Amino acid sequence: MFIVKDYSLAVLLCFITMLCWGSWGNTQKMASKNWRFELFYWDYVIGMVLLSLISALTLGSFGDGGRSFLADIQQADNSNMISAIIGGIVFNAGNILLSASISIAGMAVAFPVGVGIALVLGVIINYLASQNGDPIFLFGGVSLVVIAIILNALAYKTNKAGTSNNKSSKGLWLAIIAGILMAFFYRFIAASMDLENFNSPELGKMTPYTAFFVFSIGVLLSNLLFNTLLIKKPFIGEPTNYKAYFSGSIRNHMTGIMGGIIWGIGNALNLMAAGKAGAAISYGLGQGATLVAALWGVFIWKEFKSSQPAVNGKLALMFLFFVLGIGLIIIAGS
């Protein structure tokens, strides 16, 4: 299988992860206005599973190092497979809430708040499990990200001042709960792999390619429950049904599948980089996706259009603190 052997390459892959994880939400925004996020999300999950299988059968099966995908999945311990599946279930619960938040509050709020919280808690959780990187720089970077999250929430609150409803606060709360859940999924995947030696992984442990595929199966299985419940009892709007899903246009279905593929590419590269950069740094850099998504939301989708000068000032500071925080996280690993 392909193995990352250089820290600089690991950082580059994490930057690509950042772009992918911060950009998949655009596909949800690109779907037609009458295409519910609950229906979009099924195609998103299908796209993720397809990408995980493709990466396992290609990069995960060719090369001299490690174990090929088929050999690896056959020797994997049940406990490690269950760990990756649990990671998929936890991720799916959080990501569904994040998707709901995007549909209500927009990318410029859902990602910085939801994924920002996931970054902070996730880095702490993964560092405690595997202490890789300089803790001063690492947690200094995390602290700056916390400030950026607070600034984003304040900007959103100021921008929505006077626009009544509980809809806005619901979007914010969904993002917060999503962030807490998503902070834990990476640890379950990391625990199923031998992060110390991808070249000759411990028996029973999985390679990153196999772990990603098993993780995606956990996402798929849990979606049968989670998304079916949401289709019948959505956070906002009227209930929909699977008849509406199968009546959807090819364009809407392909948009969702593309969203899952984009996220999956980022996840595959991030897990590949974790062996060299360590789980905490790899995860933290990948979740710099918050910055990318905020840029999309502010400058492309104009989610803060015609906002007050005070709001624009908070957004500018938010971007600054995110950039500085991500920079310190990179230094922590070097």
Residue 50's CB: how many other CB atoms inside 10 A? 15
- The HSE-up count of residue 110 (CA atoms within 13 Å, CB side) is 31
pLDDT value of residue 108: 75
pLDDT value of residue 329: 87
Distance CA 251, CA 249 (A): 5
DSSP 192-238: TB-TT-SSSPPTT-B-HHHHHHHHHHHHHHHHHHHHHHHHHS-SSS-
Q: Is 31 helix (H, G, I), strand (E, B) or coil?
A: coil
Distance CA 240, CA 25 (A): 21
| Averaged pLDDT of the chain | 89
Distance CA 192, CA 207 (A): 8
Summarised one tens digit per residue, pLDDT across range 32-88 is: 778 998 999 999 999 999 999 999 999 999 887 889 999 999 999 999 999 999 999
pLDDT above 70 covers a percentage of the chain that reads: 97
Summarised one tens digit per residue, pLDDT across range 319-332 is: 899 889 988 988 99
Alpha carbon dihedral 26, 114, 94, 186, in 10-degree steps, equals: 100
Using pLDDT thresholds of 50, 70 and 90, give the confidence band for residue 239.
very high
Residue 250's CB: how many other CB atoms inside 10 A? 7
**Lowest-confidence range among 210-219, 252-261, 297-306?**
297-306
* Alpha-carbon torsion (55, 60, 61, 64), positive or negative: positive
Using pLDDT thresholds of 50, 70 and 90, give the confidence band for residue 103.
confident
pLDDT value of residue 310: 79
pLDDT value of residue 269: 96
* Alpha-carbon torsion (248, 254, 257, 259), positive or negative: negative
